[in-house]
Amino acid sequence: IAGITQAPTSQILAAGRRMTLRCTQDMRHNAMYWYRQDLGLGLRLIHYSNTAGTTGKGEVPDGYSVSRANTDDFPLTLASAVPSQTSVYFCASSVTGGKGKAFFGQGTRLTVV
């Protein structure tokens, strides 16, 4: 089934630990995004990539890093997790130029304790 796959679905993580959230799409979309969703704050953009090999910072990039080695994969890394990074994380993709709909994964629920 075409779409976006995120892993893991949920995770409890000790503060200070490093973690990578995985995101893979099979639609050959050039643009990919990472958002976090928090109650009362909505969806906020963490990082984005317009094409393989390039990345950019979103609204809340601190404490997160991304890489885009190929078209399909866009992992998000928390170098040293803190409790304020407890959130639901969504990966999304779209064609570039804003011409097409954005497709979202099912999310990763992360709790940092």
Partner 1 sequence: KQEVTQIPAALSVPEGENLVLNCSFTDSAIYNLQWFRQDPGKGLTSLLLIQSSQREQTSGRLNASLDKSSGRSTLYIAASQPGDSATYLCAVILGGATNKLIFGTGTLLAVQP
In the block, which residue shows the tokens 């779209």? Answer: 94
The C-alpha atoms of residue 76 and residue 11 are separated, in whole angstroms, by 14
Token pair for residue 54?
A: 């390039």
Report the residue number, 16 or 56, with the smaller CB distance to partner 1. 56
Q: Is 52 in the site for partner 1 (CB under 8 A)?
A: no
The yes or no reply on residue 2 touching partner 1 (CB under 8 A) is no
Q: List the one residue from 33, 34, 64, 74 that touches partner 1 (CB under 8 A).
A: 33
Question: Which of residues 2, 14, 40, 62 is near partner 1 by CB under 8 A?
Answer: 40
At its nearest, how many Å lie between partner 1 and the CB of residue 97? 7
Interface region with partner 1, contact rule CB under 8 A, candidates 19-27, 42-50, 66-74, 77-85: 42-50
How far apart are the C-alpha atoms of 64 and 78, rounded to whole Å? Answer: 5
Burial of residue 88 (CB within 10 Å: 0-12, 13-18, 19+) is middle
Site string for partner 1, 57-96 (x = CB under 8 A): -x-------------------------------x-x-x-x
- Beta strands 103-104 and 10-13 are unpaired
